[in-house]
Amino acid sequence: MLRKGLAIAALGLALVGGPALAAGSQKEPRTVAWSFSGPFGKFDRAQLQRGFKVYREVCAACHSMNLMSFRNLGQKGGPFYDPKYPNPNDNPYVKTIAKEYEVSDIDPETGDVVKRPATPADRFPNPYPNEAAARAGNGGALPPDFSTLSKARKGGADYVYSLMTGYGTPPAGLEVPSGQYYNPYMLGDVSAFWKGEGYAPKGGFIAMPPQLTPDKVTFDDDTKSTISQQAKDVAAFMAWASEPKLEERKAFGVGAMIYLTILAGLLYVSYRRIWRNVAH
């Protein structure tokens, strides 16, 4: 009876939970075998470091990461975590990276607005002073903040990877407006611009031109810098930034599942024993 009940519950969720995320015209993202997927998944530290480099050298020119501080890079599970420095603010890598940025501050003596090198406690500086400036610099489009972007899109890291590598020649018959680019993985509706045969292609227009080119970023660990590699690495970095506690969560979860399985087993045995003399 219980198994039947759970099966019904699971069926209900499958029926109801899935379609709740449905609708909209875009191509299903390509799936990548991420090191962090599955119940035992962990981030690949080297990949996170490469991804951070891609973010820093390519994306950060337009995309902010308002919720991230430099210290996050050195915290447990982060790209530059070093067990020698349990307090990420002491981590020399993190300190060096932070120092390369300048942030605004108030001079405590004079009250003037001054610039000073960042410390690990500072947030990643925003490339634009405000939203209007960001739009003005990008033809009216607002480059989204990266802090939670990976979990704010259906498909997560797969989506980021597919979008970054998904640019190509638009299908014949599609009139791409100037300042826009066609991407089959972008959510949108291009039917008003479709002059070809049959249904309009899936996908949408995106204001961001293709960003990644081979060898655009030189990886410090001699990984070959292809477009696909750069896209994978930055998608992994963004997945980490969205869910920095993912490793801790999954490790905790494995323990919790083992504990609950044993508890359920013991309770079942007790149940059989207590009820053994009751006809029911």
Partner 1 sequence: MSGHSNYVPKTGFERWLDARLPVARLAYDSLIDFPTPKNLNYWYTFGGILALCLGIQLATGIVLAMHYVPHVDYAFASIERIMRDVNYGWLIRYMHSNGASMFFIAVYAHMFRGLYYGSYKAPRELLWILGCVIYLLMMATAFMGYVLPWGQMSFHGAVVITNLFGALPIIGESITTWLWGGFAVDNATLNRFFSLHYLMPFMIAGVVILHVWALHVTGNNNPTGVHVQSKADTVPFHPYYTVKDGFAIAVFMLMFAAFVFFSPNALGHPDNYIPANPLVTPAHIVPEWYFLPFYAILRAVPDKLMGVLLMFGAIAVLFILPWLDTSRVRSLRYRPTTRMYFFIFVVACFVLGFCGGKLPDEHVIPGLKTFQLIDADLNSMVWLSRFATAYYFAYFLIVLPVMGLSEAPLDQPKSISEPVLSPSAALPAGAAASPEKRG
Query: In 3D, which of 81, 48, 72 has the Cα closest to residue 233?
Result: 48
Structure tokens at 83: 């067990």
CB-CB contact of 188 with 178 (8 Å): no
One residue of 15, 33, 172, 192 binding partner 1 per CB under 8 A:
15
Structure tokens at 159: 């989506």
* 65, burial (CB in 10 Å: exposed 0-12, middle 13-18, buried 19+): buried
Q: Can residue 113 be called a binding residue for partner 1 (CB under 8 A)?
A: no
Q: Can residue 63 be called a binding residue for partner 1 (CB under 8 A)?
A: no
Q: Can residue 20 be called a binding residue for partner 1 (CB under 8 A)?
A: yes
> How many CA within 13 A on the CB side of residue 219?
20
Q: Can residue 151 be called a binding residue for partner 1 (CB under 8 A)?
A: yes
Q: How many residues line the site for partner 1 (CB under 8 A)? A: 56
One residue of 19, 108, 140, 198 binding partner 1 per CB under 8 A:
19
| Touching partner 1, residues 78-107 (CB under 8 A) | none
Q: How far, in Å, CA of 177 to CA of 238, rounded?
A: 29
Q: How far, in Å, CA of 116 to CA of 25, rounded?
A: 46
Q: How far, in Å, CA of 119 to CA of 102, rounded?
A: 9
Q: Can residue 136 be called a binding residue for partner 1 (CB under 8 A)?
A: no
Q: Can residue 22 be called a binding residue for partner 1 (CB under 8 A)?
A: yes
One residue of 12, 92, 139, 196 binding partner 1 per CB under 8 A:
12
Q: Can residue 45 be called a binding residue for partner 1 (CB under 8 A)?
A: no
* DSSP3 helix / strand / coil % (the chain, rounded to 5): 40, 10, 50
Q: Which stretch binds partner 1 (CB under 8 A): 140-148, 160-168, 175-183, 208-216?
A: 140-148
Q: What is the dihedral sign for C-alpha 188, 190, 191, 197?
A: negative
**Calculated CA dihedral for residues 180, 182, 188, 189, nearest 10 degrees:** 100
Q: Can residue 264 be called a binding residue for partner 1 (CB under 8 A)?
A: yes
Q: Can residue 271 be called a binding residue for partner 1 (CB under 8 A)?
A: yes
Q: How far, in Å, CA of 153 to CA of 76, rounded?
A: 25
Nearer to partner 1, 37 or 226 (CB): 37
Site string for partner 1, 23-42 (x = CB under 8 A): xx--------------x---
| Touching partner 1, residues 188-247 (CB under 8 A) | 242, 244-245
Judged by the rule CB under 8 A, the positions of this chain that interact with partner 1 are 1-2, 5-6, 9, 11-13, 15-24, 39, 66-67, 72, 144, 147-149, 151-154, 156, 187, 242, 244-245, 248-250, 252-254, 256-257, 260-261, 263-264, 267-268, 270-271, 274-275, 278-280
